[in-house]
Amino acid sequence: MFSIFQLTILVVSLLPLFLTFLTYCIFPVLRTLPAQNNMALVVCLFLAQLLLVIGSYLTTDTIICKIFGVLIHYSWLCVVFWMNVCSFHMFSVFRAPKARSSRSPKRMIKYVLYTNGLSLLIVVMVIALSLVFYGTIGYGRRQCYLDKTLLVGVAFILPLSLVIVCNLIFLSLTIFSINKTSKMASLAGKDRHHAKVYIKLSTVTGIFWTVDILSNFFWRDPLRIISTILNYSQGIFIFLSFMANRLIVKLWLGLFIKETHKYVPATPNVSNSPKSVTTTQLSCDDNKN
């Protein structure tokens, strides 16, 4: 029953994540550097949850299960480190004015190298150390994930704990900068919106993951249920944080209205006057545009 409960929440969370990514893809005006960080986070979280759903149906101690175990671990590490990137970037916006308007591909490349490189390094270390001490790769024997509780603690809970601490530091420094310099008033609308959202999201996700860590040590069953509800439904919280606002509604309404106008037939102008012909041509050109 608990497994069905977990899978249900995961599946429900996938749709909001897909809609969030789709919205960013359709409207280029939204794709600022913070939004690109959000897109990467959404993609990693979508893949992590999807792999977890598929992996739950696989037979353990098979090659496919081991492969999925590696991919699940890697994708969830990417989620954790992209959350760290989002918190760091918002901190840098307030600490360094140049970061506010920066859209340099180099900055995004650094973020990608950090998240994917560190995740890959941890996975490789798990495989190498498991081969040395256990004679296996450390994945897929008992479940399509890490085999040992010790590996879970060292290779996931430890990095997660460090990231939570870093995110709380970035969050505290960001709030301090806002209160001290009143930069919130001078920020552009998008930066102000992202600042508020990141503060809320960092606080919420930090609490969520903290509950997950505690569920491994104290009151396992009650905290495990609460942790499942909070963490597996992160796609819903991300969607509500970034997509549930007036700007997104206006963009989607504008898109549907524009598409509807494309299929409205133009009324023929029967007048033979040059002025009428010119007006008709301009109308057609406007419809094409």
The answer to whether position 194 is within a domain reads yes
Which pLDDT band, with edges at 50, 70 and 90, does 280 fall under?
very low
Q: What is the mean pLDDT of residues 135-150?
A: 91
**Between 209 and 237, whose confidence is greater?**
237
In a domain, 27, yes or no: yes
User: Which has the higher per-residue pLDDT, 174 or 189?
Assistant: 174
The average confidence (pLDDT) of the chain is 79
Q: Is residue 252 part of a domain?
A: no
- Mean pLDDT of the region 54-64: 90
In a domain, 216, yes or no: yes
279 lies in some domain:
no
Percent pLDDT > 90 in the chain is: 34
Under 8 Å between Cβ of 79 and 43: no
The span from the CA of 101 to the CA of 92, in Å, is 11
pLDDT of residue 35: 84
So what's the pLDDT on residue 226?
81
- Which two three-digit tokens encode residue 253? 């309404």
CA 180 to chain CA mean position, Å: 30
| Cα–Cα distance measured from residue 190 to residue 3, given in angstroms and rounded to the nearest whole number | 40
CATH number at residue 205: 1.20.1070.10
Which helix (H) or strand (E) segment holds residue 233: the answer is none
Q: What is the pLDDT of residues 177-232, one digit of tens each?
A: 666 655 455 554 555 555 666 666 666 666 777 777 777 666 667 777 887 888 88
Range of the domain at 105: 2-244
What is d(CA 167, CA 91) in angstroms, rounded to the nearest whole number?
9
Residue 231, in any domain of the structure: yes
Residue in this structure with the two tokens 């429900």, named with its chain if needed: 12
pLDDT at 17: 94
In a domain, residue 276? The reply is no
* Total domain count, the chain: 1
Do the domain assignments include residue 126? yes
